[in-house]
Structure 1
Amino acid sequence: MSQESKSVLHRAIGASAIGNAVEWFDYGVYAYLATYIAVSLFPGNGEGSSVVYVLLGFAVSFLIRPIGGMIWGPLGDRIGRKRVLAMTIILMAGSTMVVGLIPSYEVIGIAAPILLYLLRMLQGLSAGGEYGGAATFMAEYAPDRKRGFYGSFLEVGTLAGFTLGNLTALLLVNVLDESSMHSWGWRIPFLIAGPLGLIGMYLRSRVEDTPVFREVERNDATEETVGVYRDLVTKYLRPVLTLFGLVIALNVVNYSLLSYTPTYLGTTLGMAESDALLVPLIGQIAMLLTLPFLGALSDRVGRRPMWLFSCAALMIMVIPIYKLIGTSLTGAIVGFAILGLLYAPQLATISATFPAMFPTIVRFAGVAIGYNVATSLFGGTAPVINQTLIEATGDQLIPAYYMFGACLIGLIAAYFLIETKGVSLRGTQVPGTPEAIEEQRELGEFTEASQSVPVK
């Protein structure tokens, strides 16, 4: 690869990762500061029920994401990944920033939570195109034999956003007094999203659309929107269902572990607020450092073995680890780190796995719609489901049971996953299938790696 090609690739990685970082920065600070948002924008003075209402606002943004996927996905397959990603990052960052400007419940009454929910819906609408587009953009730019390694940096952006949100919240909690946090301190992280969005917009404006998309665009192979929806439930039903199962495992673990942990530790286990924020911070940093290595490992052993291992290991360990988390601060830190590292093989490989499940002509739409439908039902709802079930049953192991069930579904889906390590994403067929291999021969991109792909 020439120096110029490497420079373009690195700019594409940065342009993809920054949007993901903004998205997850928002989710992180919203989850970490849920109790302060509850006091400021809801009636009830931060009692348990008002915290559930805030977590419901977290879920609302996810329930709207499939609509965003249905809008942005087909559009990205028609007008290009770059144009859609420019629109989604501005919409996402802007809606996040305005959350920090909502007047309190004492000032405008019921309008405060209504405005919050409306902005969360707008954020969800934009996020519906952001992840699918960023993953597609990254995967189509990355070299075929290093797609796992380069794709992992999109998830580095994810954890970097989460970690930045966590650090910001932890800093504010320790620097400001309780009164300042409740009145204006909690708003600061949301206001930071505005400048982050502008940086992301600038980075994305400096990168051309992906070579894979430009090739298809020249050949006029993009589909009409109605045709995309029809094909996803007829021609590409297997990858859609496989993706759906993988995303259930991915996001139940992700949002139960990363987003819900501070609330769980504070409200359920009674841990001090600063400690509840410290626990996920240490684990997230450990995960962040391992992602590129796991992505590179997937380029050698394949994506499918990584998913099978992660789901099986989490099923074995999640219940005893949650018992460990409930013993002490040290137990919580160690337990969270173990679960995070067992989950990391999924997180490190999704950007290489999901886009490779669909051909170029429906890739953005397939990932955006399939990913967001599963995420809306089983991802963003995880915190409120866990909290509600804990309050109803009194069982502190509810998150562990929920993760176990989700990972069982993911394990079954991973069994049916078509291996695509080293396979080109060019062409109009599902990568890794015999039809795609034949097409690669015609395109002159057939390799021994393609020939060795096991199609189950």
Structure 2
Amino acid sequence: MDEKEYNQKRSRFSIKKRSKQTLHKEDITVVDAQVAKKAVVATAIGNAMEWFDFGIYSYLAVTIGKVFFPEMKGTVQLVYSFATFAAAFLVRPLGGIFFGMLGDRLGRKNTLAMTLVLMAVATLSIGLIPGYASIGVTASVLLLIARLVQGFSTGGEYSGAMTFIAESTPDKKRGVMASGLEVGTLVGFVAGSGIVTLLTFILGSEKMLEWGWRIPFLIAAPIGLIGLYLRNHLEETPAFEAMEKETKNTDKHKFIKNIFAFHWKPLMIGMILVFFYNVVDYMVLSYMPSHLNAVLGYRETTGLLLILIVMLIMIPIVLIMGYYSDRIGAKRIIQGGLIGLVILSIPSFLLIGSGNHWLVFLGLMILAIFLASFQGTMPSVLPSLFFTEVRYGALAITYNISASLFGGTTPLVVTWLINMTGNHLVPAYYIIAAALIGILVVTYFVKDPSGRPLRGSPPAVEEKHEIQAVLKDPEEALWWKEEKNKIDEKIEDADDKK
């Protein structure tokens, strides 16, 4: 193809794309409010189950170490127990890629059903595995396999849940409805931790070690069945169905290549968002009990109880953040949370280290409120970074790689830095560094998605009378068209050069 022919073809391609920027009444999706609520509940249950497992495993780490690694002693036994837990993070990116490809090809609904079944079976299996005393090292291997399956399914679960909710809700209510996903996170963690604490109190340490530790894992089966039932009765997301009617992508083998080649910028932006979000998340919910106990000398039960109370209070705050993100913009909420962390992280950790229970609680709540500002907004912001045809897969890749690199490692890195420096304010400095990076990226590279259609998706409204208002401003409704045209032209150019 000579240069003249190439330019003519490119010109025709651009004209064709520009001609599609009109908007018709039938293009606009009217979302049934009850269907949208069912989507939120069904996806939040799966997310709650993920964090239910996280909570019970964390609280039972010592017991699991004694059951599956009895030949190890003391802290080494606990290290093996947590190493098995951490192994799940290694396969999360692989699960994200696998289920992300399925989700963007077969649909969000069916893929989410698969991830939930895998997660439920793996969690149930842990409760059924005989201990080391019965089958020796095979028990430890089976535990590791179950954890790897959990991690693999989790890689597709959370990103798929965010995608499903974002695509199933009206544009003007996406923030508050998507925040329900993080309510599932908090409810699951509180439920898992609370059940372990209650069983330990009722049964005592000996019976918990003998058989009681299995009960929380066995509970995963009915939770999984409930979640599967709800998900099987959902409809596919309107955005995915609209994409399926418009085009059939036959280049399945190019899926991953195209994401990295033509969607690398939102991938990078997404990784930074997930980076500071997970640093704060894991710092407050996962690392803090250990910080209170091992670093500051509080009794273990005191630290765990304080975190449980904080998480319960966070639930309505997360919903409030989601509600206001639809009104003043998710970007402003996130920026406010980041600025707040820069200013108040050090004072918060000074309060936490004061030795006074009320001041400790105040310090934890300050951090928790800023964390809630992210939990209430990220489930709607992250899916908005990507176009419909790659949303599930691209989000799964960006979220799981970043979470594995920065989220799961946060407690380890912070503990190591404290041991190296002897400075108890290291966690505050770590949060501030993450927040400063976040402020730059959010301010200059993130477009506020609040109240607007998702990239590549038609407008979604809750009431029919809203359609006329959308039709009056088609450029705003199709704000993503120019960006999409540029990507399509790059893909076309790449194909022509082959």
TM-score (norm 2): 0.82
In structure 1, distance between residues paired with 2:322 and 2:227: 24
Conservation of the 8 A alpha-carbon contact between 2:345 and 2:431: yes
Determine the structure 1 residue equivalent to 2:211. Answer: 184
In structure 1, distance between residues paired with 2:222 and 2:153: 17
Among all aligned residue pairs of Structure 1 and Structure 2, give the percentage whose two residues are the same amino acid: 42
Determine the structure 2 residue equivalent to 1:437. Answer: none
In the alignment, does 2:113 pair up with 1:66? no
For residues 116 and 413 of structure 1, do their structure 2 counterparts lie closer, same or farther at Cα, with a shift above 3 Å needed?
farther
In the alignment, does 2:451 pair up with 1:422? yes
Deviations 1:109-160 (CA, angstroms, capped at 9, x unpaired): 4333333222111111001110111111100111001110111111111111
Deviations 1:235-264 (CA, angstroms, capped at 9, x unpaired): 211111110001011112112211233333
Greater C-alpha Rg: 2
Deviation at 1:105, TM superposition (A): 3.4
Q: Residue 244 of structure 2: which of 209, 217, 227 is its match?
A: 217
In the alignment, does 2:392 pair up with 1:364? yes
Determine the structure 2 residue equivalent to 1:231. Answer: 258
Deviation at 1:208, TM superposition (A): 0.9
Secondary structure at the aligned position of 1:295 is classed as helix
In structure 2, distance between residues paired with 1:387 and 1:252: 13
Determine the structure 1 residue equivalent to 2:379. Answer: 351
Determine the structure 2 residue equivalent to 1:32. Answer: 59
Q: Spell out the pairing of 1:75-94 with structure 2 (5 A cutoff).
A: 75-94=102-121
Secondary structure at the aligned position of 2:390 is classed as helix
Amino acid at match of 2:452: V
Determine the structure 2 residue equivalent to 1:57. Answer: 84
Deviation at 1:46, TM superposition (A): 6.4
Q: Residue 263 of structure 1: which of 276, 281, 290 is its match?
A: 290
Deviation at 1:391, TM superposition (A): 5.0
Deviation at 1:350, TM superposition (A): 1.2
Deviations 1:168-192 (CA, angstroms, capped at 9, x unpaired): 1221232232222233233222221
Conservation of the 8 A alpha-carbon contact between 1:170 and 1:278: no
For residues 130 and 272 of structure 1, do their structure 2 counterparts lie closer, same or farther at Cα, with a shift above 3 Å needed?
same
Determine the structure 1 residue equivalent to 2:362. Answer: 334
For residues 423 and 195 of structure 1, do their structure 2 counterparts lie closer, same or farther at Cα, with a shift above 3 Å needed?
same
In structure 2, distance between residues paired with 1:360 and 1:394: 48
Cα RMSD after superposing both structures = 2.9
Determine the structure 2 residue equivalent to 1:407. Answer: 435
Amino acid at match of 1:71: F
For residues 133 and 452 of structure 1, do their structure 2 counterparts lie closer, same or farther at Cα, with a shift above 3 Å needed?
closer
Conservation of the 8 A alpha-carbon contact between 1:310 and 1:343: yes
Deviations 1:267-313 (CA, angstroms, capped at 9, x unpaired): 33343333222111111011111111110111112121122221221
Deviations 1:19-70 (CA, angstroms, capped at 9, x unpaired): 1111111112222222222232224666333323333233221121110111
In the alignment, does 2:324 pair up with 1:297? yes
Deviation at 1:381, TM superposition (A): 2.5
Conservation of the 8 A alpha-carbon contact between 1:56 and 1:381: no
Deviation at 1:358, TM superposition (A): 0.7
Structure 1 stretch 45-54 or stretch 144-153: which is displaced more?
A: 45-54
Determine the structure 2 residue equivalent to 1:170. Answer: 197
TM-score (norm 1): 0.89
Secondary structure at the aligned position of 2:32 is classed as helix
Deviations 1:176-219 (CA, angstroms, capped at 9, x unpaired): 32222233233222221111111100000111100110111122
Amino acid at match of 1:425: L
Point out where structure 2 has 5 or more consecutive residues left out of the alignment.
1-27, 460-466, 484-498
In the alignment, does 2:177 pair up with 1:158? no
